[in-house]
Structure 1
Amino acid sequence: MTAATTFRYEQLAGLITAMIDNGTLAPGARVPSVRTLSIRHGVSMSTALKTYRTLEDRGVLVARPQSGFYVAAPRNGAFALPSMSRRRAKASTVSISGAVAALLEYSSNRAFIPFGCAVPDGELLGSKRLDVALARAARREGARYNVYGPPQGELSLRGEIAKRAMRVEHMLSPDDVVITSGCTEALTLALTAVAKPGDTIAVESPTYMGLLHTLEMLGLKAFELPVDPTRGIDVGALAQLLATERVAACAFASNFNNPLGSAMSEADKRALLAVLARYDVPLIEDDVYGDLYFGRERPKPFVAFDGGANTIYCSSFSKSLAPGYRIGWITARGRTQRVIERKLAFSLCGAVLPQIAVAEFLASGAYDTHLRSVRRVFQDNLVHMARVVEASFPPETKMSRPVGGFVLWLELPKHFDSRALFDEALKQGICFAPGDVFSASRRFRNCLRLSAGHGWDDRIEDGVQRLGQLAREQLAQ
């Protein structure tokens, strides 16, 4: 059954299971009553009861007569969290472009089961309404939009982005926003605005492979900081680094680190910003996964806490709405003019029609409805994938518990070689991301990342099972 045809009770079951897996609902906790679940999610009493009965059958909940449903004790086979990474002794020269290019080539091949790139499936995103907006704009004023647009981007789109930013207390005007070709260009503009070749950028470890590739192309070094699998960056390690080393900037995920899915608390974000302010080091934040949260509220980005005083904010719609439209944005306050100058040099301007279509989509309110749906799908996918991983991979495996996004990070014993697994998996038509592409120093070879960005079906489940079997065979050798 695909994500698009999943029954409502299954969606609710996935939501509750994810809340248990990420610690929101602890073992022994009483879940909301059947009536409360029915009212809160707008479903019938019978659907709410079926949700709980399904979870009871799976051993996730236990029923207590005259009392209600409670979270069951932890599963005996539940995998531990991945280890916290270690701080590197010195900055690393990045050399990762070849590995990233090869991975992208395999990941774009539809013949392979798609665990490789963190790009959601267009069918799963269901962007038909957005495509209609683009077609309507082309019919209505196609000639008008078949021109070079302003370097800063279309005003209507910048205005909609500024309105949405207010929801997380990120106060902007349209003039603060520069539209980019995805978040990658935004990160490139930000890095070139604050650093020069040979400088060092502090990054998470593990971190997004695309960021590392950009650092390499710009001639920048990376200093890898420890990341807790649930709490995020080690603020103490950052303070120690800045006290002894010159760092041109930090480049961190705002929310849901790729590949761990971890998220910092507001208190830790404030503490991190205080450290950066003490040493006057700018922060470049990547909030591309921010809208894909599984909790009750969207977590605030760093920029909401310092008002953009020393924070450059980057994001895009590539993970949540339209990967193929390549629409991202950057806000840099005091560095805006510097960013625009670099935008002119790199790409002159963005395509106008996609910007108009996304602006209309946002203005209509359709994006919020879309997000509610796609968040449920990603959360359900991760729940399904985690359970199949636990049933299929070696018992020594450690696994992340993401609270947003759609990727899983697996850690196997130190002697495990995810590169060797990658080669074997390709022979069976399976593509995933080996762990070493998430590190400037090519660490994490015993780790791998799986994307859950496609609708869950028998083919996807079989791919996870076969990958787990290959991992077991490698460890048995």
Structure 2
Amino acid sequence: MDTHIPFRYEQLAELIVGMIDNGALAPGTRLPSVRAASVQHRISISTALQAYRMLEDRGILVARPQSGYYVAVTHRGGLALPSTSRPRPRASTVSISGAVAALLEHASNSKLVPLGCAVPNAMLLQSKRLDLALARAARQHGAHYNVYCAPRGELLLRREIAKRAMRVGHVLSPDDVLITSGCTEALTLALTAVAKPGDTIAIESPTYFGLLHTLEVLGLKALELPTDPARGVDVSAFASLLDTESVAACVLSSNFSNPLGSTMAEADKKTLLALLAQHAVPLIEDDVYGDIHFGRERPKPFIALEGGSNTIYCSSFSKSLAPGYRVGWIVAGAYAQRVMERKLAFSLSSPVLPQVALAEFLASGAYDAHLRRVRRIFEENLARMRRAIEASFPAGTKVSQPAGGFVLWLELPKGFDSRSLFDDALEQGICFAPGDVFSASRRFRNCLRLSVGSAWNDRIEDGIQRLGQLAQKLLAR
């Protein structure tokens, strides 16, 4: 017989869970501070904190910096996670440019319900303060900034980026940073620095279609890796592939991958870094979603971990703050000279004014306040979208549950054709991203990606409901 008497922190945790289950504490509700809870329940502050952190570890509460603990808005309903991908164990040529161009054209059409493009809506980002900084710089020093800047980019911005890297334990000098035109240019510079046409690049599966497009244009092959929707790349399967396949580089998302939303545990990241070091394979990491985390701490990128010295780090402000500014950066380490040569050849330097404005915005502390707001919005949007999917889509639909970012990956029953759904949805004024554009071998025909990068409203909810109804009809044919 179990004679365990709950500890005081366990009693408080059970009380909170009970209040959540009976609706007394709704998703998104802020809990009393740790100090207030200790007074209210006559327990020590450390005991109250232990209860809160235990519930945070279980995904029931989320901690928001300088704000407190909140009931998680992620819906814990009956939706299963998508299946782990099992792509064919050999490299594929990439032929996807036509499909990507067509999708981007539809995704930019403001008349369509915006579920297709993984770019935050400008109204949601509320970048007025950043825009004012740019206007002020142009008004006061326009002639001074109407020049080519140094190839590495504006020193003030590189200094602010290096300061932020310290938060994840990555020591950077401003001279280690090179400013690019978004993360796409950063990835292109990295790939051309480590690979030549005909080489094979290992990638997640599914992966961002923009990366696939870049691989195609550069004449590179793709080796798609088995990938779990929560834990990321299967390192043991990758190890087996490296015994038989010659790989020039590996490209992975640092955190909250697009489209799965997966994040590798830190221990798995270290294991993968050791594997790549063993085979002398450089890692190119894409960390555009890292700042959009819902947990208490930002997950570390590969480059900040033990064994990350052969890593090229790429990121940008396009997903978190300013997609229209097209400001990204690359930290190339041992490949810095090669990357610099290619930067000079491809674009010489990046525009000055957006860099100056971003540097001022970061230095003011406004970026952190901005991130706290958009993280909350994206987390709430994802929870709303999961509920709408569960209410409208066919039985058996599986949906990802990311801990950051703003996209969801849906897997429908085998035989479902998301291309047919795409055509039907466009006629109904709805845009989404069909699953086959996320694979070099055009897999995932029964999958699709939805974006929640816009402010939630009736139009979005109605669009998801109608999309689910269209999917029901397709399955019934």
TM-score bucket (shorter structure): 0.7 to 0.9
Q: How does 1:125-204 map to 2 (within 5 A)?
A: 125-204=125-204
Q: Is the 8 A contact 2:270 2:307 kept in 1?
A: no
Whether contact under 8 Å (1:116, 1:449) holds in the other structure is yes
Deviation at 1:29?
4.5
Q: Report if aligned partners of 2:89, 2:241 keep a CA contact under 8 Å in 1.
A: no
Q: Distance in 1 between matches of 2:188 and 2:71?
A: 48
Q: Residue 321 in 1 paired to residue 315 in 2?
A: no
Offset at 1:27? 12
Contact 1:170 1:307 in 2 (8 A): no
Contact map agreement 2:145 2:353 (CA 8 A) in 1: yes
**Paired residue for 1:433?**
433
Give the match's secondary structure for 1:92. Answer: coil
Return the offset for 1:193.
0.4
Q: Which residue of 2 aligns with 1:468?
A: 468
Superposed, 1:267-306 pairs within 5 Å as 267-306=267-306
Q: Does 1:212 align with 2:206?
A: no
Distance in structure 2 (CA, Å) of the matches to 1:262 and 1:454: 21
- How far 1:28 moved relative to its partner? 9.0
Cα distance in 2 for partners of 1:102, 1:396 equals 29
- Distance in 2, matches of 1:36 and 1:323, equals 31
State the partner residue of 1:260. 260
C-alpha contact 2:318 2:328 (8 A) present in aligned 1: yes
Of 33, 42, 61, which aligns to 1:39?
A: 33
Is this contact kept in 2: 1:30–1:70, CA < 8 A? no
Using the TM superposition, give the Cα deviation of residue 150 of structure 1 relative to its aligned residue in structure 2, in angstroms: 1.1
Identity score, percent = 72
Note if contact 1:82-1:229 (Cα within 8 Å) is conserved in structure 2.
yes
**Does the 8 A contact of 1:308 with 1:333 survive in 2?**
no
Per-residue deviation, residues 366-407 of structure 1 (Å, max 9, x unmatched): 000000000000001000000000000001111101111000
Over 3 Å counting, the alpha-carbon distance change for 1:26 and 1:250 in structure 2 is farther
**Alpha-carbon shift at residue 89 of structure 1 (Å):** 2.3
Query: Do the aligned partners of 1:250 and 1:282 also contact (CA within 8 Å) in 2?
Result: yes
| 2:241 aligned with 1:247 | no
Q: Report the equivalent of 1:444.
A: 444
Change (3 A) 1:268 1:27: farther
Partner of 1:118: 118
Give the Cα–Cα distance (whole angstroms) in 2 for the partners of residues 40 and 373 of structure 1.
Answer: 22
CA deviation profile, 1:400-456 (whole Å, cap 9, x unmatched): 011110000000111000000000000011000000000000000100000000000
Q: 1:290 to 1:266 in 2, by over 3 A?
A: same
CA distance in 1, matches of 2:203, 2:400: 19
Structure 1 pair 41–422 and aligned structure 2 pair: CA distance change class (3 A): farther
Instruction: For residue 179 of structure 1, give the secondary structure of its aligned residue in structure 2.
Output: strand
- Kept in 2: contact 1:435–1:447 (CA 8 A): yes
Q: Is the 8 A contact 2:114 2:432 kept in 1?
A: yes
Hey, what does 1:352 align to over in structure 2? Answer: 352
| CA distance in 1: counterparts of 2:122 and 2:201, whole angstroms | 33
Alpha-carbon contact 1:28-1:70 (below 8 Å) kept: no
Alignment check: 8 A CA contact 2:248 2:282 kept: yes
Cα pair distance change 1:202/1:26, threshold 3 Å: farther
Aligned amino acid, residue 372 of structure 1: R
Please state whether the residue corresponding to 1:449 is helix, strand or coil.
Answer: strand
Superposition pairs of residues 101-116 of structure 1, within 5 angstroms: 101-116=101-116
Task: Report the secondary structure of 1:473's partner residue.
Answer: helix
Separation (CA, whole Å) in 1 of partners of 2:347 and 2:109: 27
| Equivalent position amino acid for 1:365 in 2 | G
Do the aligned partners of 1:149 and 1:352 also contact (CA within 8 Å) in 2? yes
List alignment gaps of at least 5 residues for structure 2: 1-12, 37-59, 62-69
Question: Partner of 1:454: helix, strand, or coil?
Answer: coil
Deviation digits for residues 66-122 of structure 1, max 9, x if unmatched? xxx999xx97x6111100000422100000000000000000010001111100001
2:448 maps to a residue whose letter is L
For 1:368, give the aligned amino acid: D
Quote the residue 1:18 is aligned against: none
TM-score with structure 2 setting the length: 0.86
Q: Give the conservation status (yes or no) of the 8 Å contact 1:93–1:216.
A: yes
Q: 3-state DSSP class of the match of 1:314?
A: strand
Cα distance, 1:197–1:293 mapped onto 2, change above 3 Å: same
Alpha-carbon distance, 1:306 to partner? 3.7
Corresponding residue of 1:223: 223
Distance 1:380 1:461 in 2: 13
- Report the aligned-residue RMSD: 2.4
Tell me, what secondary structure is at the counterpart of 2:201? strand
Q: What amino acid sits opposite 2:351 in the alignment? A: A
CA shift for structure 1 position 31: 7.5
CA distance in 2, matches of 1:145, 1:26: 59
Q: Which residue of 2 aligns with 1:51?
A: none
SS in 1 for 2:309: coil
1:360-371 aligned at under 5 Å gives the runs: 360-371=360-371
Q: Alignment length, in residue pairs? A: 427
The worse-fitting range, judged by mean Cα deviation, of 457-466 and 25-34 is 25-34
Which residue identity is paired with 1:98? G
